[in-house]
């Protein structure tokens, strides 16, 4: 069973990732100037590290089992479906502009790029500007490879302005089930951050981060909904082990007229540690489909509680570059209609 083998392989990979010695990594947040934190529990670093390894492995197993158990036909849908995967035409699948991602993935064989400009005010007196994007490739019918990159990152505060490349992250997204009348599209996503932003200027942490996400997407009464639940592993500065917190997202969209669409989102993080409280935020945007393979967007984010971003403005675009598999070219030559 291809799906079972893929699931087992993924679990073994994740277990190996978290068992490597000396992991002291941290996820980047809105305020990346971390202070040393002393754990108040009195537990040893080794016990904390082992406990967190167990937590995230259990989270991964439970999430995958939940996806597979969502419907009796879920496994049957996913198995052996690497034939007949080509779409009739290339259509973009934007993850922008929301923080949440859709459970559906990029079309089979298609290379797709998302890119945008962000202006963020994380706290009073601090302004961040970034340019970055997401490169996606539909490797299999239900497996997408993802590379998120920040090409430019600038932060201005009372000490002046610092500039650097941002961080990068890599990982797959696996669609477990395709939407039916009663069941949403279901998927699982893993991402690992590769630290590349400057730590000397306070723009990066210099640590690797991990994010495990369960995704569900459904069309209901002319609205589209994306629901995400993410388990984050947050590396402890100057010590082994991880902090941990969760993020929950609910995004929705609706066509206003023709190619113009409205998008909204509510999301929040649980408390990370004493210096990083939980928060809730909202995002509002408009998107416009120029052509099926090109979608542009713009909007703003407004924090609902303290601890999160005060406000953020952004513009960007999603473009499906091409189908890289030779089968697509043969299909197009035999059926010229778009």
In a domain, 174, yes or no: yes
pTM beyond cutoff 0.95: no
How far are the Cα atoms of 95, 197, 203, 205 from residue 152, in angstroms, in the given order?
Answer: 20, 9, 11, 16
In a domain, 38, yes or no: no
In a domain, 133, yes or no: yes
Tokens of 148: 């998120």
CA–CA distance, 198 with 148 (Å, rounded to integer) = 17
What tens digit of pLDDT does each residue of 131-158 get? 999 999 999 999 999 999 998 888 888 8
Report the C-alpha dihedral over residues 92, 95, 97, 100, rounded to 10 degrees. 150
CA–CA distance, 121 with 30 (Å, rounded to integer) = 9
For residue 106, the 8-state DSSP code is P
What tens digit of pLDDT does each residue of 162-196 get? 888 888 999 999 999 999 999 999 999 999 998 88
CA–CA distance, 302 with 267 (Å, rounded to integer) = 11
Mean pLDDT split into 10-residue runs, the chain, 338 residues? 48 48 39 37 44 57 56 47 76 96 96 96 86 96 95 86 86 96 96 82 78 97 96 83 92 96 96 88 97 97 86 96 80 56
Decide if 194 contacts 208 (C-beta within 8 A).
yes
In a domain, 14, yes or no: yes
CATH number at residue 263: 2.40.160.40
CA–CA distance, 171 with 31 (Å, rounded to integer) = 24
In a domain, 89, yes or no: yes
Number of folded domains that form the chain: 1
The strand pairing partners of 186, in sequence order, are 177, 216
Domain of residue 251 covers 2-33+43-334
DSSP element (H, E) containing 226: strand 223-235
């Amino acid at each position: 069973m291809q799906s079972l083998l893929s699931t087992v392989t993924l679990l073994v990979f994740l277990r190996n990732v978290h068992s490597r010695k000396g992991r002291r990594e941290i996820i980047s947040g809105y305020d990346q100037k971390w202070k040393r934190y002393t754990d108040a529990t009195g537990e040893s670093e080794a016990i904390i590290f082992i406990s967190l390894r167990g937590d995230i492995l259990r989270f991964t197993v439970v999430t995958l089992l939940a996806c597979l158990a969502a419907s009796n036909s879920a496994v049957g849908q996913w198995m052996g479906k690497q034939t007949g995967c080509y779409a009739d035409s290339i259509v973009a699948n934007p993850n922008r502009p929301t923080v949440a991602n859709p459970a559906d993935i990029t079309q089979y064989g298609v290379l797709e790029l998302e890119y945008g400009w962000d202006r963020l005010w994380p706290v009073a007196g601090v302004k961040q500007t970034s340019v970055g994007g997401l490169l996606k490739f539909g490797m299999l019918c239900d497996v997408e490879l993802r590379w998120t990159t920040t090409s430019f990152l600038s932060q201005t505060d009372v000490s002046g302005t610092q500039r650097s490349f941002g961080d990068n992250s890599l990982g797959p997204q696996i669609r477990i089930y395709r939407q039916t009348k009663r069941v949403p599209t279901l998927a699982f996503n893993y991402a690992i951050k590769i630290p590349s932003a400057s730590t000397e200027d306070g723009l990066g942490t210099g640590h690797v981060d991990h994010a495990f996400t369960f995704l569900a997407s459904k069309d209901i009464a002319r609205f589209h909904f994306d629901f995400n639940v993410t388990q984050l592993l947050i590396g402890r500065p100057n010590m082994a082990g991880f902090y941990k917190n969760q993020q929950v997202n609910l995004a929705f969209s609706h066509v206003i007229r023709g190619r113009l669409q409205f998008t909204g989102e509510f999301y929040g993080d649980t408390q990370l540690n004493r210096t990083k409280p939980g928060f809730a935020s909202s995002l509002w945007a408009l998107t416009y489909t120029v052509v099926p393979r090109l979608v542009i967007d713009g909007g703003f984010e407004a924090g609902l509680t303290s601890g999160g971003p005060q406000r953020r403005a952004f513009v960007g675009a999603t473009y499906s570059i091409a189908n890289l598999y030779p089968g697509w070219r043969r299909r197009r030559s035999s059926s010229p209609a778009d």
